[in-house]
Chain A
Amino acid sequence: MSSQLNLSRRNFIKQCVIGGVTIYSAPMLFNSVQAEEKSNIEKFRSNWNKDKKPRFRFDAIEKVTGQKIYGRDYRAVDIPTWPNEQHYALMIRSSIANRVYLGFDISFLPAEIQPYKVITAEDLKNHKLTELIEDFGGNMLLEKGNTPDYLGHEIAVLLFDTFAAFNKAKGRIQFNSNVVQYGEETELVAKSKDPYASWRIVREEGQLGQNDRYSTLQDGLFFPNYVAHKPVWPSAENSIEDNGKRGMFYAEKLHSDVETRKDWFVLDRTYQTQSIEPMTFEAEAYNGWYDKATQSMHIVISSQAPQDFYYKAGKTIAKSPLASDIKNVIVHTPYIGGGFGAKDHTQFPYYGILASLFAKAPVYLANDRFEQFQSGLKRHPFVMANKLAFDKNTKKIAGLVSDMEVDGGGRINFSGSVTMVGASAIQGIYYIPRNDITAVCYPSQTPHAGSMRGYGTLQSMSAMEMMFNEAAAELDVDPIELRKINALKPGLKNTQGALPNGDMRYLEMLEMAAKHPKWVNRHSAKAEFEAKHPGKLYGVGFGMVSKDYGTGAAAPSSSVEITPEGKIIVKTCSVEMGTGIDTSQGSLVSQYLGSAADEIEMAVTEEFDAMELFATDNPYLISQERQDQMLKDPRWTPAVSMASAASMSSFYQTQTTENAARILLEKTLFPAAVEIWKNTYFNGQFATPDFNDVSKARWSNDGLTINGYPPISLELLAKKAHADGMITGVMTHAFNRWAWASAEFELEGEIKRYPLDAIAIKRGIGARNVKTNRFGYQVIERKSVDYPKTALNNAMVTYYAPCATLAEIAVEKASGKVEVLSTHTWLEPGKVLVKELVEGQIEGGLTMGVGHALYEYLPLDESGAGNGTWNLNRYQVPLANHNGVWNMNYTILPPLSESDPAKGIGEVVMIPIVPALVEAIYQATNTRFYHTPVTPKDIVEAI
């Protein structure tokens, strides 16, 4: 079988070459039976775009008929060129982190179910593989004589040649406390490590119309030294030369005012959030085959960031002795069942690679739910000591001091940026004239924490909203009125000193909420409800936040093509994981092409090499000089690709898809139509139209039309475009660092500036003498490019989507159980691409927020998820009887105009319900809580 592998075949596309290792990406292929089944739904599915709006999700038919193939579903037999034999891997992990590991013993297993290979730290040493996950902190497998770095530290990988042997052995090992032996008790390893990250965001506004006296955007970030694993910040001094000392000068000035100003009201509270399991329904899985004959590693991953994996896997292999054995890495990126950040940049597939290196056949490694709880990424717990000061007279915020400690778990992962984003988000919807926000992330014994939905903002913004609700009571102001007084207005800066993009519409949303009957009548309703239900208490709470979206280095790619038959093919780099990005991206082209896409391909990376782009530096750390030097190369970009996370799809991916479709309209379909109209009707019965203005062209049900000229169908225009060799495929790349890069390109003789940094085109079959690259594309040389200044990295975030939620609850006095009676959410998503998808995000996000506020909890000590005994029997994810399922209401604000961008809303929708519920509990019980989740036990004890 292996000898039949031909790496030049078209479906293996070279991604990059790293240190002599070539990384290929390959589309997933099914076995013949599945391929046949797939073809059986094609015709049925083709109805999805027959209306102006999608009738259903693009992949709905596969999902509802059980024919959707997820990453976890692939076995060796399904993948062409792989041997049919499938082996299985089992991991042994440590369930404690406070004793010396001495070894493990599986000799009790009967001979017929013994693994044929046991991979341990000794193997890593012997094969010089110790750096296999260096990017994740190293120490891939725990060595004998060492203390585990964290609960769940990986000890060994066991390989079995049949499922039955694997299954039986697993049943005897998994919860057997005699398997792993430990010695003396030791201190936690995490206590001997420096923090993963420390951030400090200081700002003091200048006089009206003047620059800030100090801000991170204007003056830059500064960092502490570490002494005894604690941060030591610069001494305070109003120094012109040293921004750190000057930042501390303004920080301490604020501290002093918070302590001494008599005209300020200061709310001083500490808030604590919990460790949360993302519970992405498809647990992580891997299948891989190391084909020694062709020195090729074939990999199937379940990742929402495949591009990250390509480069990291390549780098990892290239810098290890494996580079002499492995020349090719071929990565298959299938659809995944849910992400929520849990499948973004995880170490899991690297253990699969390790298994593949020693396996005699393709090997399958898949977490069960216990294992996913034990080893999967978690949401970071925050402890926040906040002091929020208000001017007693104006009720305006005077200043904020926040000191955040973040639990980063056992490996660093994205802890640095989660901490930063959490810190920069605490401002919520408010204008804060002076702030000192410190956030330090510490290693711990808990499982790794990563980029789970919210990315730190859920924690910090919920705390801010809880403070606002309490401050309103203390200041004797209506909570929504206090928000209106303090809501960020256009022209005001965020805590970093940057101006948010766009009109935030906070006041409009607050006014809508203030008029909601549940809010207006909340006091009388409480009296009535409690009179009618003597065993229950009633409360209504409110919260409103504004969530940033994006990463500050977004790099989407898309392509839009029309076939000679008029079929539309859309391809994007994003991974579909349930949010519906395939549906939204496939639909949005209808504005320009008259119809939604017929074919949509997601997680495409291979073809985007057609733009021949390369990156050289970390886009967050690159200097302005370096950027200015590099941008002279028209193939250079700050970042080539991006992960599918951080609410990236609506806003960022749309940029490249929409522009590709727009170019097709402007440069192909409209000119083709004009030519037909001129040839057929000019000087005829119609008035002379303004053929120069494509913006006046419209798609009717019958085709493209302008100024009353008869519609021309896409099929006819596509046929003409292909016959005449016009542009029939447009591939686009963009870069965003809180502003879009733009560049001039010459297309069909016209030089124009586009909000893109790379374009490649494909011409119709009638084109002659067109030189294309190996992908069949012609790269359009950019004439000039403007990239956002590197100083914008200090802005941290500038794109926001606001969301407010009102929650009506009842609390059962005897049990403390909270019943969500109804909710109403207001969301400002900008332009809505597909209404049902936005609704789905609201409904699902709110429910996940209910889980955070009331149910989900993992201990941070040795009894936590890392001990391997957690599952859904004691981790309560919210069910339909927890979220007020029949009474979940919302108002989706219409865009200000059709030119509004579609905002990233996948995360913001889950946040305001958290403070709304905590406040509603206070309104019901007269007890304030400063932690999540608020459990029935907490409530019973309080009342």
Chain B
Amino acid sequence: MTMISVTINNKVYGPLEVDPEVKMTDFLHEYVNLTGTKFGCGQGICQACTIIVDNEDGTSDTVRTCITNAMVFNGKKLRTIEGHAKTSKTGEIIALHPVQEAFVNNFSFQCGWCTSGFTNKTVALVEKLKRQPIAKDQVQKIIETELKDHVCRCTGYVKYYKAVKELILSTEGATV
């Protein structure tokens, strides 16, 4: 057994005793009851389990939790699907993250199993573009590159891609 502490959506969990073989997806589900991150394939292929790891230098990485052991995240700061919306002091949602809003307004998802992975990847992408803007005519290309591995079985991806394109083009500082 290993002791781990991890900050998820600005809340510290731990120290918790966790078997070293436990994957992060299972840690989120079985140990801290955060079920918004979904298990898809267990091989890191489908990207449904993607979360965001915030680095100390202000950059972020997206990580697939179904192939990464929980102990790897010890001491790290994470963001999951549960952490993006703005809430009031009483926990009531008062504003969705712009990525969430774009997906909701475009009817982007259907069953919703892939939504967590798409959302986290897109949040990280938009933040990156704010730091490193791209030309407007490169927006489609970067969406294809960044989201190409995400599997969705219901939607055909069209309304996801449309939402992300609209969002990037309307986000101040993301394009030049």
Q: Judging by beta carbons under 8 Å apart, are B153 and A848 in contact?
A: yes
B74 to chain A, nearest CB (A): 17
A336: which B residues are within 8 A, CB to CB?
111
List the B residue with the shortest CB-CB distance to A55. Answer: B105
Tell me if A843 counts as interface (CB < 8 A to partner B): yes
Q: With A and B bound together, what is the CA distance between A351 and B21 in angstroms?
A: 26
Tell me if B116 counts as interface (CB < 8 A to partner A): yes
Q: Judging by beta carbons under 8 Å apart, are B81 and A65 in contact?
A: yes
Given A64-B103, A68-B112, A281 and B48 contact (CB-CB distance below 8 Å): yes
Q: Judging by beta carbons under 8 Å apart, are A163 and B154 in contact?
A: no
Interface residues of B in 79-119 (CB under 8 A from A): 80-82, 84-85, 87, 90-94, 96, 100, 103-105, 107, 109-116, 119
List the B residue with the shortest CB-CB distance to A68. Answer: B112
A280: which B residues are within 8 A, CB to CB?
111, 153
B146 to chain A, nearest CB (A): 11
Q: Judging by beta carbons under 8 Å apart, are B156 and A56 in contact?
A: no
State the main secondary structure of chain B at its contact with A: loop
Q: With A and B bound together, what is the CA distance between A885 and B1 in angstroms?
A: 46
Given A41-B93, A65-B36, A578 and B110 contact (CB-CB distance below 8 Å): yes
Q: With A and B bound together, what is the CA distance between A164 and B20 in angstroms?
A: 9
Q: Judging by beta carbons under 8 Å apart, are A843 and B161 in contact?
A: no
Tell me if A529 counts as interface (CB < 8 A to partner B): no
B105: which A residues are within 8 A, CB to CB?
55-56
Interface-located stretch among B27-35, B52-60, B130-138? B27-35
Q: Judging by beta carbons under 8 Å apart, are B111 and A577 in contact?
A: yes
Q: With A and B bound together, what is the CA distance between A340 and B153 in angstroms?
A: 10
Q: Judging by beta carbons under 8 Å apart, are B111 and A847 in contact?
A: no
Which listed residue, B35, B40, B87, B156, touches A888 by the CB 8 Å rule?
Answer: B156
Which listed residue, A66, A281, A877, touches B34 by the CB 8 Å rule?
Answer: A66
Q: With A and B bound together, what is the CA distance between A393 and B92 in angstroms?
A: 72
A881: which B residues are within 8 A, CB to CB?
144, 148
Tell me if A513 counts as interface (CB < 8 A to partner B): no
B45: which A residues are within 8 A, CB to CB?
871-873
B30: which A residues are within 8 A, CB to CB?
75, 163
Q: With A and B bound together, what is the CA distance between A651 and B169 in angstroms?
A: 39
Q: Judging by beta carbons under 8 Å apart, are B153 and A281 in contact?
A: yes
Given A281-B40, A281-B111, A282-B111, A879 and B81 contact (CB-CB distance below 8 Å): no
A392 to chain B, nearest CB (A): 41
Which listed residue, B19, B80, B150, B159, touches A66 by the CB 8 Å rule?
Answer: B80
Tell me if B176 counts as interface (CB < 8 A to partner A): no
B46: which A residues are within 8 A, CB to CB?
281, 872
List the B residue with the shortest CB-CB distance to A846. Answer: B156
Q: With A and B bound together, what is the CA distance between A352 and B85 in angstroms?
A: 36
Interface residues of B in 151-168 (CB under 8 A from A): 151-161
A442 to chain B, nearest CB (A): 29
A372 to chain B, nearest CB (A): 10
> Would you give the 0/1 interface string for B62-83, flagging 1 where the beta carbon is closer than 8 Å to chain A?
0000000000000000001110
A886: which B residues are within 8 A, CB to CB?
140, 161
B166 to chain A, nearest CB (A): 13
Tell me if A369 counts as interface (CB < 8 A to partner B): yes
Q: Judging by beta carbons under 8 Å apart, are B85 and A65 in contact?
A: yes
A60: which B residues are within 8 A, CB to CB?
103-104, 107, 109
Which listed residue, B21, B84, B96, B140, touches A168 by the CB 8 Å rule?
Answer: B21
> How extensive is the interface on chain A, given as a class?
35 or more
Q: Judging by beta carbons under 8 Å apart, are A369 and B42 in contact?
A: yes
A250 to chain B, nearest CB (A): 44
Given A40-B93, A73-B29, A888-B156, A579 and B113 contact (CB-CB distance below 8 Å): no
Given A66-B37, A368-B42, A57 and B113 contact (CB-CB distance below 8 Å): no
Q: Judging by beta carbons under 8 Å apart, are A843 and B158 in contact?
A: yes
A580: which B residues are within 8 A, CB to CB?
107, 110
Q: Judging by beta carbons under 8 Å apart, are B107 and A837 in contact?
A: yes
A63: which B residues are within 8 A, CB to CB?
109, 112, 115
Tell me if B147 counts as interface (CB < 8 A to partner A): yes
Given A64-B115, A836-B107, A44 and B156 contact (CB-CB distance below 8 Å): no
A182 to chain B, nearest CB (A): 26
Given A368-B42, A370-B42, A840 and B107 contact (CB-CB distance below 8 Å): yes
B160: which A residues are within 8 A, CB to CB?
880
Tell me if B121 counts as interface (CB < 8 A to partner A): no
Tell me if A707 counts as interface (CB < 8 A to partner B): no
Q: Judging by beta carbons under 8 Å apart, are B110 and A69 in contact?
A: no
Tell me if B171 counts as interface (CB < 8 A to partner A): no
B130 to chain A, nearest CB (A): 21
Q: Judging by beta carbons under 8 Å apart, are A579 and B148 in contact?
A: no
List the A residue with the shortest CB-CB distance to B144. Answer: A881
Most chain A CB atoms below 10 A, which of B85, B94, B160: B85
List the A residue with the shortest CB-CB distance to B90. Answer: A40
Interface residues of A in 607-662 (CB under 8 A from B): none
Which listed residue, A848, A877, A885, touches B161 by the CB 8 Å rule?
Answer: A885
Tell me if B41 counts as interface (CB < 8 A to partner A): yes
Q: Judging by beta carbons under 8 Å apart, are A61 and B158 in contact?
A: no
B111: which A residues are within 8 A, CB to CB?
280-282, 336-338, 577-578
B169 to chain A, nearest CB (A): 14
B40: which A residues are within 8 A, CB to CB?
281, 369, 872
Q: Judging by beta carbons under 8 Å apart, are B26 and A163 in contact?
A: yes
Tell me if B149 counts as interface (CB < 8 A to partner A): yes
Q: Judging by beta carbons under 8 Å apart, are B156 and A871 in contact?
A: no
Q: Judging by beta carbons under 8 Å apart, are A879 and B148 in contact?
A: yes
Which listed residue, A37, A70, A164, A848, touches B22 by the CB 8 Å rule?
Answer: A164
B43: which A residues are within 8 A, CB to CB?
369, 871-873
A77: which B residues are within 8 A, CB to CB?
33
Q: Judging by beta carbons under 8 Å apart, are A64 and B109 in contact?
A: yes
Interface residues of A in 837-856 (CB under 8 A from B): 837, 839-840, 842-848
List the A residue with the shortest CB-CB distance to B109. Answer: A63
Q: Judging by beta carbons under 8 Å apart, are B153 and A70 in contact?
A: no
A164: which B residues are within 8 A, CB to CB?
1, 19, 21-22
Given A56-B107, A338-B111, A886-B140, A65 and B153 contact (CB-CB distance below 8 Å): no
B15 to chain A, nearest CB (A): 16
Interface residues of A in 161-184 (CB under 8 A from B): 163-164, 167-168, 171
A36: which B residues are within 8 A, CB to CB?
91
Q: Judging by beta carbons under 8 Å apart, are B26 and A67 in contact?
A: no
B83 to chain A, nearest CB (A): 8
Which listed residue, B35, B90, B149, B159, touches A843 by the CB 8 Å rule?
Answer: B159
B159: which A residues are within 8 A, CB to CB?
836, 839-840, 843
B34: which A residues are within 8 A, CB to CB?
66
B21: which A residues are within 8 A, CB to CB?
164, 167-168, 171
Q: With A and B bound together, what is the CA distance between A72 and B48 in angstroms?
A: 15
B104: which A residues are within 8 A, CB to CB?
56-57, 60-61, 64
Given A65-B36, A844-B110, A872 and B154 contact (CB-CB distance below 8 Å): no
List the B residue with the shortest CB-CB distance to A837. Answer: B107
Tell me if A279 counts as interface (CB < 8 A to partner B): yes
B34 to chain A, nearest CB (A): 7
Q: With A and B bound together, what is the CA distance between A40 and B95 in angstroms?
A: 12
Tell me if A43 counts as interface (CB < 8 A to partner B): yes
Q: With A and B bound together, what is the CA distance between A95 and B84 in angstroms?
A: 43
Tell me if A316 counts as interface (CB < 8 A to partner B): no
A342 to chain B, nearest CB (A): 10
Q: Judging by beta carbons under 8 Å apart, are B144 and A281 in contact?
A: no
List the A residue with the shortest CB-CB distance to B160. Answer: A880
Tell me if A923 counts as interface (CB < 8 A to partner B): no
A943: which B residues are within 8 A, CB to CB?
none
B149 to chain A, nearest CB (A): 7
A396 to chain B, nearest CB (A): 36
**Interchain Cβ contacts under 8 Å between A and B, 10 examples:** A33-B33, A163-B26, A163-B30, A280-B153, A338-B153, A578-B112, A836-B159, A879-B151, A880-B148, A886-B140
> Nearest 4 pairs between A and B by C-beta?
A66-B36, A578-B111, A843-B156, A63-B112
* Extra A-B contacts (16), CB below 8 Å, given A60-B103, A888-B158: A43-B93, A61-B96, A64-B96, A65-B100, A75-B29, A167-B26, A279-B153, A839-B158, A840-B107, A873-B43, A877-B151, A879-B151, A879-B157, A880-B150, A881-B144, A888-B156
